[in-house]
Chains A and B, each alone.
Chain A
Amino acid sequence: MGLSRASSKLVSLSFLFIGLLALSVAPLFLPRFFIYLTALVLLTGLLATSLNLALGFGGMYQFNHSVFYGLGAYGLSLMLIKTSLPPLLGYIVGPVISAIMALIMGIICVRLSKLYFGMLQLSLGSLVWVVIYRWYSFTGGDDGLHGVPIPQLFSSVTGSYYFTLVVTFFCMVILYFIVHSPFGRILQAIRDNPERSASVGIRVRLQQLIALVIAGFFAGVAGGLFVTVEGSAFPDLLSWTLSLELIIMCLLGGWFTFFGPMLGAAIIVCLRALVGGYTEFWTLALAIILMLLIYFLPEGALGFFERIWHGKASASGEVK
């Protein structure tokens, strides 16, 4: 057991290393469009991973995660446009705004469970969306904010790519530690059995609330990265359809795996960019993939392969 664990760890570490190496030299070979696309994959992957902390590991129906993403993006953009504060501060301010909103929404939502939680969050999130959508004088309304003055260092395609790579890497490391920490273990215990968790002395609501705040914070970071890559922020970043797409990414990659959402994000972002380049009906492809997934692979791609590799007995593929 000990040996196989150590060797499998070595394998995953070397995979990780090769992947990172490939990612860091990629801009030397890839055309601009693919560098941009890779940056988009990375930040969307971070976003989906942050969602999965609440959804897959926390078992909470986070139906409106994109709100925190959008708030992070708007927080950064507004600070860069409207103030002359040091630009790097914006990369903290955005996520903090997201985290505060996650706290407020969390306090209201954690009283409820499952579908009610999701519905309540959906309605709170849509209020945030509609305010941003309509507040022309401040947020630019439905046009959004364009031409955000990104700091020179990361404004080029390569610059923004490296910035995204570094930030995503660090955030993923932090999230990895959180998921595998005692906090993460107890969070998963709550997902599996909230009643029992309370009876062994766990403060269920508080634990969930903190998970939501962490998830919101990292969604905000991803939002800041999006602005860096794209140079703009718009209300669609907060829309519930994007939130559902994020859930699909988690499902596609696998709820119960750490890297699954990143994989799911890569598949969907590339699908949209590549299929979307040829036909305007790329959502058709997404819809068909999603249906097949729900019918045949409710544990997601990575979860499925992991089960085959490890022969791990699992009670059920769905979030209970």
Chain B
Amino acid sequence: MLKVNDIQKSFDRFVAVKRANLEVSQGEIVAVIGPNGAGKSTLFKIISGHLKPDKGTISFRGKDITSMAPHQICRHGLSLSYQIVNIFNRQTVFENVQISVLSRIGKAFDFFTPSRNVAVPETDEILASVGLLGVRDRICGSLSHGEQKVLEIAIALGSKPELLILDEPTAGMSPEETFATISLLEKLNKEGLTILFCEHDIELVFSFANRIMVMQQGISIIQGPPAEVRENREVREAYIGGSD
């Protein structure tokens, strides 16, 4: 489904991603792990089109998306949920998700329908599926951090992606919130959503992902099922070396 080929990206003289390869197939849950500064977030931003790679190609369902703008990539069915909460602060929870739905169903240039009557069932359905229907009319700046992270995912779901990319979906969450989020993602995956995410909590990754890619210093060093990755000597060294 998604194929990342030899991506390289540097900022000034600092090389953030040196050589990244990644493959995600339909219906999988793929995790990218690696120490801080391994280039995970950069890689995700390149895939979603917010950064342009210096070298390499990315294809999604057979189409080359390397040089596409973020909005085009989104329209191809690939949606990014951010690590740092990145929502429309001034709007309500409902409006946040509605924005994304409006854009998907091509209502961006509808000038005369009152927007509170547009795409209501679709939006409410997404809110219900992530469990935010109760705070539907709150200004989202006033939500708790955990709720905002879930809203992040809901916004990404608003564009009905086939592949959802999550940058540290549970960062800063309490254990209960983390558990709820992971069950939500598992449910979405069962409904057919392919998920690519990166995460700090290694135990969580090994219990949740179908396949894992390990990045170190901008290079993807291994990719495979959890058991295989756990046995890999290089990974152990990377992690032991990277954590102290």
Residues of A within 8 A of B (CB): 1, 177-178, 180-186, 188-189, 192-193, 195-204, 207, 210, 256, 312-315, 320
Contact = CB atoms under 8 A, between A and B. Distances in A.
B103 A196 contact: no
A186 B108 contact: yes
A18 B161 CA distance: 49
Contacts of B69: 198
Contact of B110 (A182, A197, A312, A313): A182
A181 B88 contact: no
Nearest to A207: B108
A193 B89 CA distance: 8
B113 interface: yes
A189 B70 CA distance: 16
B118 interface: yes
B52 to A, nearest CB: 14
A177 B111 contact: yes
A256 B98 CA distance: 19
B171 interface: no
B108 A200 contact: no
A200 B141 contact: no
Interface in B164-209: none
Nearest to A176: B114
B11 interface: no
In the A-B complex, the 6 residue pairs with the smallest Cβ-Cβ separation, listed nearest first, are A201-B74, A200-B100, A182-B107, A198-B70, A189-B99, A315-B141
Contacts of A186: 99, 102-103, 108
Contacts of B99: 185-186, 189, 197, 200, 202
Contacts of B153: none
B236 interface: no
Contacts of B17: none
14 contacts: A1-B137, A180-B114, A181-B110, A182-B108, A186-B102, A188-B88, A193-B86, A199-B74, A200-B103, A201-B104, A201-B159, A312-B139, A314-B139, A315-B89
Given A185-B115, A201-B71, A314 B110 contact: no
B156 interface: yes
A183 B111 contact: yes
A99 to B, nearest CB: 14
Given A186-B103, A199-B79, A178 B86 contact: no
Given A193-B86, A200-B159, A201-B159, A182 B113 contact: yes
Given A180-B114, A199-B49, 4 more contacts: A182-B107, A189-B88, A200-B155, A315-B139
Contacts of B91: 185, 188-189, 192
A242 B242 CA distance: 60
Contacts of B108: 182-183, 186, 202-203, 207
Task: Select the residue from B103, B110, B112 with max chain A CB neighbours within 10 A.
Answer: B103
Task: Select the residue from A182, A184, A186, A192 with max chain B CB neighbours within 10 A.
Answer: A182
B50 A185 contact: no
Contacts of A188: 88, 90-91
B74 A185 contact: no
Contacts of A313: 139, 141-142
A275 to B, nearest CB: 35
Dominant SS at the A interface?
helix
A210 B108 CA distance: 11
B158 interface: yes
Contacts of B102: 182, 185-186
Contact of B103 (A178, A201, A314): A201
A203 B71 contact: yes
A158 B232 CA distance: 87
A202 B71 contact: yes
B158 A200 contact: yes
Interface string B113-125: 1111011000000
B80 interface: yes
B216 interface: no
Given A180-B115, A185-B115, A315-B90, A200 B50 contact: no
B117 to A, nearest CB: 10
B109 A202 contact: no
A182 B114 CA distance: 7
A193 B50 contact: no
Nearest to B69: A198
Interface in B69-84: 69-71, 74-75, 79-80, 82
Contacts of B79: 199-200
Contacts of A204: 71
A197 B95 CA distance: 13
B121 to A, nearest CB: 15
Nearest to A1: B137
A131 to B, nearest CB: 32
